[in-house]
Amino acid sequence: MAEYNQATYDAVADIIAEVSSIDRATIVPDSHAINDLGIDSLDFLDVTFAIDKKFGIKMPVEKWMEDVNEGRAKAEEFFVMRNLVRRIDELVAQKATAA
Amino acid sequence: MRLEHFQLVDRVEQYDRSAKAIKCRCEVPLESSIFDGHFPGHPLFPGTLMIEAIAQCCGLAVLALHDFRRMPVLIGVDKARVRAMIKPGAVLAVEGRLVQEGSGYVAAAGHLASEGRMAAEAEVRLGTLPFPTEALRAEARKFAQKVGLI
C-alpha cells in the first residue's frame, strides 16, 4: 500500500470536500475520487484547478485519463486518494528540482 | 449581441496572444423578450448576462490560444460582482485575461464596463474540451471570423 504525506492528504481532502460539497468525514485514504466520492468530470476539473493553485503544479489529468482509457494504467493508480496525494507530492518535488 | 442565440460578443477589439488577453465589444439590443420580464416597464440587462459576457469574451481567447482544437465551456465563477445597472442600447467594453492554465481547464479574470464605468467583474473557469464534432469546430471558426478574432 502506497505511503502518502498526511499534510498533502489533508489539504487535498479539504479541497475535494469544499469544491464537490462532500462531507469531509466520508473521504478516506482508500476513497476512489470518481467511484466512491462521485466526483464527475466537470467537478474534477474544478478540483484540479484548486489543487494546481494550492501546490503550484499542473496535474496532467488528461494524460492520466488517456493512460487509463488506453489500458496503460488503472484508474485507481491516479484517483484513489492515497495515490493521488502521492502523485501530487511527486509533481511538487519535480517542480522543486526543476527550479 | 444576439441574445436569442446566446451570442453576446459583437466584436473582438483586440487579442494579444502573448499576454493572453482580449478586449471585446458587446452591444446590448434596444429590444429583447428578456426585457419583457426583466423588468416590466423598467428594462435592465441582467447581471448574470454581464458575467456570461465576460465568460464568452474569455472563451474566445481560449479558442484562439488553443488554435480551435479545444472548446471552452463555463465550469466555475468566483468573485462575481455587479456594480452598475445596464440599460438597453448600452455598449459594453469587456476585457479578459487568462491567468492559469491546467490540464483540461483555463482560469481567467475579466471585467465589463459601460461608458468608462466598471459594471461587472468576475473570475471564471472554463473547461477546455475536445470539440465533439468537426461541424461545431467549423461553426466556432465561422463565429470567430464574424467577430474579428481571426
Q: Domain containing B139 — which CATH number?
A: 3.10.129.10
**Residue B128 in domain:** yes
pLDDT band at A2 (very low <50, low <70, confident <90, very high): low
pLDDT, tens digit, for every residue of A60-92? 999 999 999 999 999 999 999 999 999 999 999
Is residue B122, in this structure, part of any structural domain at all?
yes
Provide mean pLDDT across the span A1-30.
93
Strands (E), B69-140: 70-82, 91-102, 105-114, 117-130
Q: What's the complex ipTM?
A: 0.86
pLDDT value at position A41? 86
Domain count across chain A = 1
Mean pLDDT per 10-residue segment, chain B (150 residues): 95 98 98 96 98 98 97 96 98 98 97 97 97 98 97
Answer yes or no: do B105 and A49 touch at CB < 8 A: yes
User: Has residue A1 been placed in a domain?
Assistant: no
For residue B150, being part of any structural domain is answered with no
Answer yes or no: is B149 within a domain: no
Give the pLDDT score at A20. Answer: 94
**Residue B86 forms part of a structural domain:** yes
* Residue A63 belongs to some domain of the structure: yes
CA-nearest of B64, B59, B39 to B126 is B59
CB contact under 8 A, B103 and A62: yes
Closest CA to A91 of B102, B104, B80, B79: B102
Q: What is the DSSP string of B23-72?
A: EEEEE--S--THHHHSSTTS--B-HHHHHHHHHHHHHHHHHHHTTTSEEE
Cβ of B76 within 8 Å of Cβ of A46? The answer is yes
Q: Residue B130 forms beta bridges with which residues?
A: B70
B107 touches chain A (CB under 8 A): yes
The verdict on residue A11 lying in a domain is yes
Domain encompassing residue A63: 6-98
Q: Does A60 fall in a domain? A: yes
* Matching residue, cell 462532500: A22
Range of the domain at B62: 3-143
Q: What is the CATH number of the domain that holds A75?
A: 1.10.1200.10
Predicted local distance difference test score (pLDDT) of residue A3: 84
Tally the domains of chain B. 1
pLDDT at A99 over 90: no
- Tens of pLDDT, residues A21-59: 999 999 999 999 999 999 988 889 999 999 999 999 999
Q: Is residue B139 part of a domain?
A: yes
pLDDT score at A1: 58
Q: Which residues of B touch A52 (CB under 8 A)?
A: 100, 102
Residues 117-146 in B contacting A (C-alpha not used; CB under 8 Å): 125, 127
Domain assignment present for residue A70? The answer is yes
